[in-house]
Amino acid sequence: MAAARPANRLLARRCAQVCGALAATVALVLPTAVEPPAHAAPAVVGGQSVGIADSPWVVALSSRAQFGPGRSGQFCGGVLVGPDKVLTAAHCLARGGLDVPYEEADDLMVIAERGDMESPAGTEVPLAGMWVNPGYDTGTHAGDVAVLTLAHPLPAHSAILMAQAGDRAYTPGTTAEVYGWGDTTGYGDYSPTLRAARVQVLPDATCQEAYAGSPDGTFTADSMLCAGDPGGGHDACQGDSGGPLVARGRLIGLVSWGTGCGQAHQPGVYTRISGVLSGIRPPL
């Protein structure tokens, strides 16, 4: 069985920074073997390059101290929801991802307006504060959300609207896009440039069947939603955690977890934004 994304996503990202040519091999054994995704393409998984100017709300989380200088130290994604507020996944800041408590990662920052992580373009913004959901369940992955407060604001027009409960964007069958700089194949092939993959919002019943108390996590509809391609081949992967799932121009999810990358009948699981707004109520 392929490994759950929260652990394998960050572990594989760290290996890619420090293991060089061995990254793809090590990604296969951390913590269990990762099967190649069906119909994988050189993109998020099954996606294509996109311009940061067309999606300015997509940001990267960076720590060069923990992940090295390559690719600007990017290790997770995030999404700008206000001039000085970024949403990301709680598991991105867990000790398993950073090796140190997030409070001690002094160089954590958000990189905005940089589509190519190997370029100096854009803005690197230090943090003024971090809130990690204290109710985040590392076993089921419920409540996988964190809020980063920027030390100085970004342009307000760069932020994206969040979809409230009842928004049509959550309707099963709706086309959505997931964004990130993560693994493009499931073998540790990280993209230096921003990619997006087109997926479908899936019925809750599909997700409950796929992840009904699986070893990788437990799907709960009030705080999660699933999106993917029924036949596989389009998905988020390691390094995309915390990044946005967008439908009808609004943020509906954050990349959270799943089994493998782009596998049929194993869709990606996302933190449901309406659940964040109505249930968790973070300091936005």
- 241 included as an active-site residue: yes
Q: Is 65 exposed, middle or buried (0-12, 13-18, 19+ CB in 10 A)?
A: middle
Q: Which two tokens stand for residue 252?
A: 């509906």
CA-only gyration radius of the chain, Å: 17
- 144 included as an active-site residue: yes
Other CB atoms within 10 Å distance of the CB of residue 100:
13
Catalytic residue from among 62, 84, 141, 144: 144
| Cα–Cα distance for residue pair 205/209, rounded to 1 Å | 6
Catalytic residue from among 55, 72, 241, 256: 241
| Cα–Cα distance for residue pair 221/207, rounded to 1 Å | 9
Catalytic residue from among 55, 72, 84, 91: 91
CA distances from 127 to 44, 86, 225 (A): 27, 10, 29
- 235 included as an active-site residue: no
Q: Is 20 exposed, middle or buried (0-12, 13-18, 19+ CB in 10 A)?
A: exposed
CA angle 85, 125, 106 (to 5 degrees): 100
Q: Which residues are catalytic?
A: 91, 144, 241
